[in-house]
Structure 1
Amino acid sequence: MQYVSTRGHAAAQTFSHILLGGLAPDGGLYLPAEYPQVSDAELTHWRTLSYADLAFEVLKKFATDIPEADLKALAHKTYTADVYRNVRAGENAAQITPLRVLEEKNGKKIVLQALSNGPTLAFKDMAMQLLGNLFEYTLAKDNAELNIFGATSGDTGSAAEYAMRGKKGVRVFMLSPYKKMSAFQTAQMFSLQDPNIFNIAVKGVFDDCQDMVKAVSNDHAFKAAKKIGTVNSINWARVVAQVVYYFRGYLSATTSNDQKVSFTVPSGNFGNICAGHIARMMGLPIDKLVAATNENDVLDEFFRTGVYRVRPSSETYHTSSPSMDISKASNFERFIYDLTGRDSKRLSALFHLVETKGGFDLSGKPGSDGDEFHKIAEYGFCSGKSTHDDRLATIRDVQKNYGITVDTHTADGIKVAREYLTPDVTMIVLETALPAKFNETIREALGRDAERPAGFENIEALPQKFEVMDADVAQVKAYIAAHTE
């Protein structure tokens, strides 16, 4: 399996080669030269597998240069009931991502897929725990070191830090928007005292943090000298690890391979739903992929109109589903690459328009930049938007009628999922976090605190260690350099 850049100017590479990096040298994102396919016989066999064995079967299609015995050992080391132990009443930790029927009316069914049972109570653990083990495995072979430089809107940071803390040869430098995460999210990250963890709170929004990660990734001399890698979803291994739970969700929700399901995915940086797109391209019978956004509705606008219009920091809202407070969706480029027929020259021209004009228009209307919008339905994509009032109403409704407390992002997903239900096609909503991570809004919606798993009772009271900086690439580079000498 070889990987190519969406921008078309980087040499094809193996999985292990791109694992420790981020952006390709030409500034593009890596994708397989062609998507591996899953046969009907394989899908039938996979119904019998544990999550770890399923992960191995999916991963070996992409990581063909890692010995299968090693890859299987890594999957089994990662996906255990002990690691994913933060299950709620009625859930089975051994299933890793158990399903729960939320509602079923007139042949229309909504199912929640629990992805938040890992150590940081968010779906990011599903990929990040594997990434930590892959990094350690790869670095150990060469007795090498890696300095991870990433950005988070809330959940990626803690998931990465918990996955990498104590890993030999690994340091983590994580940017986050200052005072724009929930108190729980902030405490999860900043309370870590491990010597290989460095938290940097940036005076700005997530997009400012993400821009700095890309700027450093594009400084090839600095990146090489300081051995910079990334754990953001621009890292291909992050995305491919997420593909696994789409297969698990489908196989758990159906009894035969001629059935279809749909997925609704709370979407900010487009990494989570991009994994669903890849699963669909591999042959998984997905009907719809529904992107649920919050007030930062760049993706919803595109899937409704064909217009991709990124917002500046000043127009990016701080919301009660803060992990989606994003106006530049990095992984969106991977989908546009497929939408344009994998035409790197066309892709590069469109993203040049993003840089120079703030976006592009594929609606096909007079004066637009293209007409690819008409092909979006072929890929199953649709979208919707949820506001603060919507998520409060959804949290209250789900608690009152089903006795389940959901977090704010999952509430956005449920609200939008209800707009796209089809008889006899199960809608799986990907749960993104446990509600304890966003207690301020749970208290506003329900008048009480969210239940907390053991060990997180007083996390906000722990001492915190972090640096506050301006959104200044030179300042961040100097900080990295000072702490890697």
Structure 2
Amino acid sequence: MHYVSTRATSASAARNPQGFSDILLGGLAPDGGLYLPAAYPQVTGAELDAWRSLSYADLAYEILRKFATDIPDAELKALTARTYTPEVYRNARAGESSADITPLRVLEEGAAGKLILQGLSNGPTLAFKDMAMQLLGNLFEYILAKNGDALNIFGATSGDTGSAAEYAMRGKRGIRVFMLSPHAKMSAFQTAQMFSLQDPNIFNIAVEGVFDDCQDMVKAVSNDLEFKARHKIGTVNSINWARVVAQVVYYFRGYLKATSSNGQKVSFTVPSGNFGNICAGHIARMMGLPIAKLVVATNENNVLDEFFRTGVYRVRKPAETFHTSSPSMDISKASNFERFVYDLVGRDAERTHALFRKVETHGGFDLSGAPGSDGDEFKRVGEYGFVSGCSTHEDRLNTIREVADDYGITIDTHTADGIKVARAHLEPGIPMIVLETALAAKFNETILEALGTDAERPAGFENIETLPQRFVVMKADVAQVKAYIAEHTGLDR
């Protein structure tokens, strides 16, 4: 299995084939693009039949071995077995088994269709990011130990990626984590979960700006190839291919648990900001998983919803980005979107590069086919199953109340966005699986507003906001953050 950049010419790809281990520790390709397989591996009906009885860890091994062909099978199987255990994913709700890892719960079933919630928030930081990040931590440690090397992880978070990365990497030999987050724009729980960590290899940087400012700085550092090499910079953001492919696993798991025959289709609704989570669904569909629809659910920052309705991708400026009650989706520049656009334009790397240059120079592009547009590829979006919708603060409050009243469970704000949008796309005979984003406790301010009572917290998180916090505040300045990294890695600037 070889990997190519979304911006690579055929000649450069042929000269420099990349394996899974080659791209594991990095983020952007040297040309500024994102890595994808040269061709998506295919899954047969016989394989799906054989996978129905597997544990989550064994299913992860079977899927990952199609992508990580340069890691010996026995070692890859040991990595997935060590990652996906009930001890790690222990925060199941009442009535659910932590051994299921990603339990499914039918919320409603009627003439309009069947609505299912897939639990992805049982890991150590109570968010779906743990599903990939725990594996990434073990993969990083494995590769670094094998090569006798070290890594400085530099990432950005709008709330959940940061804590999931830090909890996955804390105490890992040879790894430091430098994590950017928008200052005072995460929930109190999210902030405390990150900033209360006292591990000497964890560095939290609160940036005076929005998430997109943080993400832009990560890309700027990744594009400085000399600095990146000298300081051994890697990333855990969803531009990292290994993280995306780890998320492919739970789409297969959801399908296998929600159906009894391989001829049946399902749909997935995914709360979406940076397009990484639903990009994994796109990859699963390209591998042959029978997915009818991939429903993109956004909040008031509806850049992706606008594209999937109109064909226009229009990035918002920081001043135009709303601070909402589903803050992990307060994103106006979806970094993983380039992976889908690359497929949409027929894997034409030069065209992909030109479109995303236009994002940087003109703030977006238009594939609607209208006069003066940049192309007409939007007409092909339906071939990939994508539809979309958006949700507001009032929608979130109403959905949280309805789910609590009707089903006796408390959902977080992002999952509420997903359920609200999913209901508009239900189809008879096709189960709709909504991917849970996080446990409600992480966004207690809005739960209290919606229900008049606090969200239940798993053991160990009762007083997390009162713990001492360790972080620095910094302007959105690339030079300043580079100097901070250099100072704390003991290397010259």
Q: Same fold (TM over 0.5)?
A: yes
Tell me whether 1:91 sits opposite 2:96 in the alignment: yes
Match of 2:397 in 1: 392
Kindly report which structure 2 residues correspond to 1:26-175, keeping only aligned pairs within 5 A, or say none.
26-106=31-111, 108-175=113-180
CA contact (8 A) 1:5 1:12 kept: no
Q: Secondary structure at the match of 2:428?
A: coil
Match of 1:4 in 2: 4
The Cα shift of 1:12 comes to 2.5
Aligned positions, number: 485
Separation in structure 1 between the aligned mates of residue 21 and residue 81 of structure 2, nearest angstrom: 19
Match of 2:384 in 1: 379
CA contact (8 A) 1:274 1:335 kept: yes
Which amino acid in 1 is paired with 2:5?
A: S
Kindly report which structure 2 residues correspond to 1:29-428, keeping only aligned pairs within 5 A, or say none.
29-106=34-111, 108-428=113-433
* More divergent stretch after superposition (297-306 vs 347-356): 347-356
Identity %: 80
Separation in structure 2 between the aligned mates of residue 143 and residue 353 of structure 1, nearest angstrom: 41
What whole-Å deviation, never above 9, does each CA across 1:141-196 have from its counterpart, x for those lacking one? 12110000000000000000000000000000000000000000000000000000
The Cα shift of 1:407 comes to 0.2
What whole-Å deviation, never above 9, does each CA across 1:465-485 have from its counterpart, x for those lacking one? 000000000000000000001
Q: Secondary structure at the match of 1:373?
A: helix
What whole-Å deviation, never above 9, does each CA across 1:326-369 have from its counterpart, x for those lacking one? 00000000000000000001111111111111000000011111
Which amino acid in 2 is paired with 1:316?
A: T
Which amino acid in 2 is paired with 1:382?
A: V
2:22 to 14, 17, 26: 17
1:459 to 464, 476, 489: 464
Structure 2, unmatched stretches of 5+, are none
Match of 1:468 in 2: 473
Separation in structure 2 between the aligned mates of residue 91 and residue 12 of structure 1, nearest angstrom: 44
CA contact (8 A) 2:183 2:208 kept: yes
Separation in structure 2 between the aligned mates of residue 353 and residue 224 of structure 1, nearest angstrom: 28
The Cα shift of 1:14 comes to 0.3
CA contact (8 A) 2:7 2:32 kept: yes
Q: Secondary structure at the match of 1:453?
A: coil
Separation in structure 2 between the aligned mates of residue 217 and residue 85 of structure 1, nearest angstrom: 35
Q: Secondary structure at the match of 1:111?
A: strand
Which amino acid in 2 is paired with 1:30?
A: Y
CA contact (8 A) 2:403 2:411 kept: yes
Q: Secondary structure at the match of 2:192?
A: helix
Separation in structure 1 between the aligned mates of residue 4 and residue 232 of structure 2, nearest angstrom: 22
Separation in structure 1 between the aligned mates of residue 378 and residue 171 of structure 2, nearest angstrom: 46
Q: Secondary structure at the match of 2:216?
A: helix
Separation in structure 2 between the aligned mates of residue 170 and residue 16 of structure 1, nearest angstrom: 17
Q: Secondary structure at the match of 1:483?
A: helix
Separation in structure 2 between the aligned mates of residue 95 and residue 112 of structure 1, nearest angstrom: 14
Separation in structure 2 between the aligned mates of residue 421 and residue 224 of structure 1, nearest angstrom: 48
Which amino acid in 2 is paired with 1:162?
A: Y
Structure 1, unmatched stretches of 5+, are none
CA contact (8 A) 2:112 2:426 kept: no
TM-score (norm 1): 1.00
Which amino acid in 2 is paired with 1:117?
A: N
TM-score (norm 2): 0.98
Separation in structure 2 between the aligned mates of residue 176 and residue 186 of structure 1, nearest angstrom: 9
Relative to structure 1, the CA distance from residue 301 to residue 158 in structure 2 (aligned partners, 3 Å threshold; closer, same or farther) is same
The Cα shift of 1:107 comes to 5.2
Separation in structure 2 between the aligned mates of residue 367 and residue 223 of structure 1, nearest angstrom: 39
Which amino acid in 1 is paired with 2:185?
A: K
Q: Secondary structure at the match of 1:289?
A: strand
Which amino acid in 1 is paired with 2:221?
A: V
Separation in structure 1 between the aligned mates of residue 41 and residue 110 of structure 2, nearest angstrom: 37
Separation in structure 2 between the aligned mates of residue 233 and residue 130 of structure 1, nearest angstrom: 14
The Cα shift of 1:105 comes to 1.8
Q: Secondary structure at the match of 1:274?
A: helix
Separation in structure 2 between the aligned mates of residue 166 and residue 402 of structure 1, nearest angstrom: 40
Q: Secondary structure at the match of 2:204?
A: strand
Separation in structure 2 between the aligned mates of residue 366 and residue 262 of structure 1, nearest angstrom: 34
Q: Secondary structure at the match of 1:296?
A: coil
Which amino acid in 2 is paired with 1:264?
A: T
The Cα shift of 1:8 comes to 1.0
Separation in structure 2 between the aligned mates of residue 348 and residue 131 of structure 1, nearest angstrom: 28
What whole-Å deviation, never above 9, does each CA across 1:431-482 have from its counterpart, x for those lacking one? 0100000000000000000000000000000000000000000000000000
Separation in structure 2 between the aligned mates of residue 298 and residue 247 of structure 1, nearest angstrom: 27
Which amino acid in 1 is paired with 2:98?
A: A
Q: What do you get for the CA RMSD once the two structures are aligned?
A: 0.6
List, as ranges, runs of 4+ consecutive aligned residues in structure 1 with deviation greater than 6 Å: none
Separation in structure 2 between the aligned mates of residue 385 and residue 224 of structure 1, nearest angstrom: 40
